[in-house]
Chain A
Amino acid sequence: MDGFVVAFSGTNMMLVVIGCFLGTVIGMLPGIGPINAIAILFPIVLQFDLPPSSALIFFAGIFYGSQYGNSISSILLNVPGTSSAAVTCIDGNPLAKQGKAGPALAMSAVASFIGGTISIFLLILLAPFLSKLAIDFGPAEYFVLMICAFTALTSFSEGSFIKAMFSAFIGLAIATVGIDELSFGGTQRFTFGLLELDDGIDFIVVVIGIFAVGELFLFLSDKANLTKEKIIPLGRIYLTFKEIKDSFAGIIRSCITGFFVGVLPGAGATIASFLAYNTEKKMAGDKGNFGKGDLRGVAAPESANNSSAVGSFIPLLVLGVPGSETTAVMLGALITLGVRPGPTMLVDSPEIFWGVAASMFIGNLVLIVLNLPLVRLLAKILQVPKWILMPLIAILSIVGVYVINGSEFDLILMLIFGLVGFIMRKTGFPIAPLVLGLVLGGLIEVNFRRALTYSYGDFATFYESPISLSLWLITLFSIAAPPVFRFFRAKMK
């Protein structure tokens, strides 16, 4: 609990504010979302030797800020940075076209704030309770848990399940490159005699390659991207009391939905915002103006979005297992910083949990207090031409990758993965499972081999304990669930 107070230290507060602002600016850029921002900034932050909790606080700030930035670009440009912001476009952009961009942006901030704050309290309430369950995890349980998270994330991906699984296995395969730590004498695996590959392929290099460089290639491949942005008049950037009152119930409802959807690995902000939007649309019935510019159509997904982001931290912080693409990248960041992820993280390093919780709270506050008044300035930033922003991202990524190890080889790997990421997006192979596979691959294998070593080769260890059995059930459920969800989604349309 004193972790919460510690998080309010001068450095950490400053980190949250800077993180939020930077995150918003980066998140605003069309096509760039929180993952890209975290990926690009990570190696640079690494150089500052911050304690893991401070680094994570900074990234939580960026995460938050970029969610808001996404909303800005959804509302003003009809271009969401990530799929979760796509729902905001539906009512947000019509509002902007009607000259009501200001109130829409304000509603986005307010709904996010309320939704976020409530879900943080839920996080603080639930997490310690869940962590008590987590102490009974041995390597076998942990292995099954990761399989479960894996399957959930993969099966909820858009598109072909087979392709998503294949992406996941590619990620796992990349993770096997390097010297094997568990074997006596340290066998080299798949290094082709290259010394640089002995330590394996750096997670950051892959992530920057895919999400920064790959993004640049994607940008270039879409002709529409290179046209200039039009200036949209913002109008007033505050909400009337009536507007807040009308949306309030919806915000609370969406917040609860969002939080619990966010906790489930795999089901993330996209499903949460979609569900919330549809619920509010039904609740408003004939009195609503959804689709043509209803403020509640912005409030619902924004609140759900934010609270699902908070919810998605629960599997990460309590169990050490990421439930989404973004939390997978954050986990990778944590591992690089030397934090031991896992069910005991809450016991061994509680300051990380409290630090993140506090930073979310402060981040929310910063968004309302700082970013909203600054939104006119931020909108101007959108006017900065692409031919400055994109090259800056290129240079920033390249510098970032180089300073990790001072290695030109990493730069070439970055380029390769940039092309890989580009090709994957074009051919319909989802990227999230690859990231997850890369981040968890090492841990999955280590736990697998350890569990079998302890059980003297008996595979029964993977389904003996009640925890393992329930996890297998959840795994099966998550394979069966998406077709069911899709059925309902089609029905709702």
Chain B
Amino acid sequence: MKFLTDRKYALVMLFFSMAYCYLTVSLEADYDPTKEKYFPFFLSVAMIILSVLLFIFPSQHKNTWPKGQQLVSIFLLAVAILVYSLSLAHVGFLVLATLLMGVCMWVFGATIKWIAPVSVAVSISFYIIFDRILGLNLPTGILKFLF
């Protein structure tokens, strides 16, 4: 039995489907179709069946995961977004957007001399457009003393 990539995915799918199934079964209601347990439970069972089916009938899909430099870039971008999300309220939009823009530009191949000025410019313009002109609220964070 060849262990095609689809079969590996089927196992992962099975794991998640069973986890979801467990969650649906733990809901308090009964299995009356008009109540809130039936539909998600049905979904989870269907997903389990599909996982098994994929294991039995895998397609010829081939993997093309990124390697090396590309993987590093993706990881950096993900971390940058995560840091942005977690600290937005405390550090504020201007600082974080500049940093995020800088990381993005670097990851997408910009030369060093452009990164700093463009990041600052973009972050300030976005702040002006979105916070001042459009009236949407972007947190000021640690730069509060400037406003």
Residues of A within 8 A of B (CB): 44, 47, 159-160, 162-163, 165-166, 169-170, 172-173, 176, 180, 182-183, 187, 189-190, 213, 216-217, 219-223, 226, 385-388, 390-392, 394-395, 398-399, 402-403, 406, 408, 411-412, 414-415, 418-419, 422, 426-428, 445, 448-449, 452-453, 457
Known: A162-B57, A176-B43. A453 touches B34 (CB 8 A): yes
**Cβ of B6: which chain A residues have Cβ within 8 Å of it?**
160, 163, 428
B59 in contact with A403 (CB, 8 Å) = no
B44 in contact with A173 (CB, 8 Å) = yes
**Cβ of B63: which chain A residues have Cβ within 8 Å of it?**
426-427
B interface bracket (residues with beta carbon within 8 Å of A): 35 or more
Known: A220-B70, A220-B74, A428-B61. A165 touches B50 (CB 8 A): yes
**Cβ of B18: which chain A residues have Cβ within 8 Å of it?**
none
- Within the complex, what minimum Cβ distance (angstroms) separates A410 from chain B? 9
- Within the complex, what minimum Cβ distance (angstroms) separates A441 from chain B? 9
B73 in contact with A220 (CB, 8 Å) = yes
Q: Which 9 A-B pairs have the closest CB atoms?
A: A391-B104, A411-B85, A221-B66, A387-B110, A160-B59, A428-B61, A387-B108, A180-B36, A403-B136
A-B contact pairs, 7 of them (CB 8 A): A159-B61, A385-B110, A388-B110, A395-B97, A399-B138, A411-B88, A427-B61
A415 in contact with B81 (CB, 8 Å) = yes
Residues of B within 8 A of A (CB): 5-6, 9, 13, 20, 23, 27-29, 32-36, 39-40, 43-44, 46-47, 50-51, 53-54, 57-59, 61, 63-66, 69-71, 73-74, 77-78, 81-82, 84-86, 88-89, 97, 100-101, 104-105, 107-110, 114, 118, 122-123, 126, 130, 134-138
Other-chain contact of B47, A173, A183, A418, A419 (Cβ < 8 Å): A173
**Cβ of A387: which chain B residues have Cβ within 8 Å of it?**
104-105, 108-110, 114
**Cβ of A394: which chain B residues have Cβ within 8 Å of it?**
77, 81, 100-101, 104
Other-chain contact of A169, B9, B50, B130 (Cβ < 8 Å): B50
B78 in contact with A419 (CB, 8 Å) = yes
Known: A399-B138, A427-B61. A217 touches B74 (CB 8 A): yes
A395 in contact with B126 (CB, 8 Å) = yes
Which of A385, A391, A402, A412 has most B Cβ within 10 Å?
A: A391
Known: A415-B85, A426-B65. A395 touches B110 (CB 8 A): no
- Within the complex, what minimum Cβ distance (angstroms) separates B106 from chain A? 8
Give Cα distance in the complex from A395 to B88, angstroms: 13
Other-chain contact of A173, B40, B82, B114 (Cβ < 8 Å): B40
- Within the complex, what minimum Cβ distance (angstroms) separates B5 from chain A? 8
- Within the complex, what minimum Cβ distance (angstroms) separates A161 from chain B? 9
